[in-house]
Amino acid sequence: MSEQTHEQRLRELLLERYGRIDQSTFRHRLRFYLKRAGWVGVVTGAYLVKRVFDIVSAAILAVLLIPVFLAVAIAIRLEDPGPVFFKQTRVGRWGSLFTMWKFRSMYTDAEKRKKELMAHNEMQGGVIFKMKNDPRVTKVGRIIRKTSIDELPQLWNVIKGDMSLVGPRPPVPQEVDQYSLSDRRRLEVIPGITCIWQISGRSDIPFDQQVELDAQYIQSQSFWSDIKILLKTVPALLFGTGAY
């Protein structure tokens, strides 16, 4: 047998032994691909349902609340001349950056004064800065913060797709820099206007517990759980528990 014939025969043997897929292997692979396709379909479908609900609900709320927007804007300008809205860079899903909008609830020099007040941070854990009697907050600001009216401009962020109605609150980049590996679980989903810890005590809840509640939401989130959180948000805003 020539060397060329020998190489050809060897190639045929290798292809015969390793190149074919028996029925058992084919069934296993087919089952795997079908399961993966089913899982992708469920996740994609859930995302689309949530997204459509967000867009429709946010658009309707934005139209209905136009009188509130106008009244708040006038009140802010009358007390402290300056911009009506406050914009800030926040961290979204997978670390993407976006501009989040709020009604301005502080004096225009608030960011400059923050460094002087860092020693008075009342948020346990130290990652988020919170003060119950923050001197930078205006009189109008205290009212709209207590009722979370200052968050209403984020309906625009929801319509754009930066945020959802329900999801972990979006952090600022400086907070993310201080996150531990487990804290970064909060960045696995689209951030929201309201979340599970906002209906459970809001700022009275220590940061590490906020992370745990957000992690629970991420693991068990569903369309119906979002509806429940939205319904519980209304009484939480009316009573203003933990808001400052």
- Dihedral, CA atoms, 162, 163, 164, 165, nearest 10 degrees? -140
The encoded tokens of residue 29 equal 């692979």
| pLDDT at residue 89 tops 90 | yes
Closest CA to 76 of 163, 137, 165, 8: 137
Residue 106 DSSP SS3 = strand
The encoded tokens of residue 152 equal 């209403």
Other Cβ atoms less than 10 A from the Cβ of 109: the count is 10
**Where are the domains positioned within the chain?**
22-239
- Write down the pLDDT at residue 182: 82
The encoded tokens of residue 210 equal 């906020």
Rounded Cα distance between 42 and 163, Å, is: 21
The encoded tokens of residue 113 equal 């004064």
Please tell me which residue, 68 or 117, carries the higher pLDDT value: 68
Q: Report pLDDT digits (tens) over 99-128.
A: 999 999 999 887 777 777 776 666 555 566
Please tell me which residue, 72 or 41, carries the higher pLDDT value: 72
Contact 110, 192 (CB under 8 A): no
Q: Report pLDDT digits (tens) over 180-239.
A: 888 888 899 999 999 988 887 666 778 888 888 898 898 888 889 999 999 988 887 766
Q: Give the chain's mean pLDDT.
A: 83
Most confident of the ranges 5-14, 42-51, 152-161: 152-161
